[in-house]
Amino acid sequence: MFGTVVVGVGIAGLARIRDLMNPMPSSPSEHLKLVGFVSRRSFGNINEAKQISLEDALRSEDIHAAFISTENRSHEETIRMFLEAGKHVLVEYPMALSAKAAHELWEMAEQKGKVLHVEHIELLTEEYKQLKKEVAGKDLVKGTLHFTGSVLDENKTGFPAFSGIARLTWLIDLFGDLTVTSATREKQKDKNYSRMTVHFQTANK
C-alpha cells in the first residue's frame, strides 16, 4: 500500500478524503492508503480519517505522497516542503503563482526522483471530453467563455486571473497557445463585485 496524506480540507480536499476512503473497485486508488489529513483548523477526525500535524506528515515514513488541496498562494511552499521530505506530490491546479516557480518545482522533483503531478480535474470530465470532440477539426472564428463565482480573498487565491486560470486552460487545450491582446478589471467594493475581461488571440489570429 502507498501511504498518502491530504493537505487542506476545502471542497477538493474533502472529495479526496472521501475517494481515498472509498476507492472504486479495481482502480489504482485501491493501492492508496490514507494515513491522515492536515488542516490549519481543528477537526479531529473526518469520516474516520484522522487529523495529523504538518510536521508529522513530513516526517512519517508511512506517508509516500501528499495530495495538496489548499489555496493557490500556499501551493508552492507546501510542494517544496513535501519534496524536501522525499514525498511524491499531487497538487490541484494551478501549481504556483508564476511559471518561474513552477519550473523550479519540477526541476526539484526531478532532482529528488519524485513525481510532481498537477491535476486539472475538469479536463477529465465527460462534459469537457464531449466539448473537445465538438470543436475538433473546426476553426475558431470568435467565441466567449463566461463564468461567475463568489468574490475570493486575493491574499489566499492570488490575483483574479488565477481564480479563473483553470478555465483558461480549457481554451488552450481546445485551441492551442493564446496571446493576450487586452485585459480590463472593474471593481465595485460597495457591492462586493469584481469583473475581469480578457481578450485572447489564437496563433492563426
Three cell numbers at 125?
470530465
Distances (CA, A) of 203 to 13, 83, 169, 177: 37, 36, 15, 6
CB atoms within 10 A of CB 153: 10
pLDDT at residue 149 in the model: 76
CB of 36 closer than 8 Å to CB of 51: yes
Amino acid residing at 158: G
pLDDT at residue 184 in the model: 93
Pairing of strands 178-188, 193-202: antiparallel
Domains of the chain with CATH codes? 2-119 (3.40.50.720), 125-202 (3.30.360.10)
Those residues with Cβ within 8 angstroms of residue 91's Cβ, 6 or more apart along the chain or in another chain:
67, 68, 75, 78, 79, 116, 117, 118, 119
pLDDT at residue 167 in the model: 78
Mean pLDDT per 10-residue segment, the chain (205 residues): 95 91 89 95 88 97 97 94 98 89 97 95 88 91 84 74 76 92 91 89 92
Radius of gyration of the chain from its Cα atoms, rounded to whole angstroms: 19
Distances (CA, A) of 143 to 73, 112, 167: 30, 43, 14
pLDDT at residue 24 in the model: 86
pLDDT at residue 103 in the model: 96
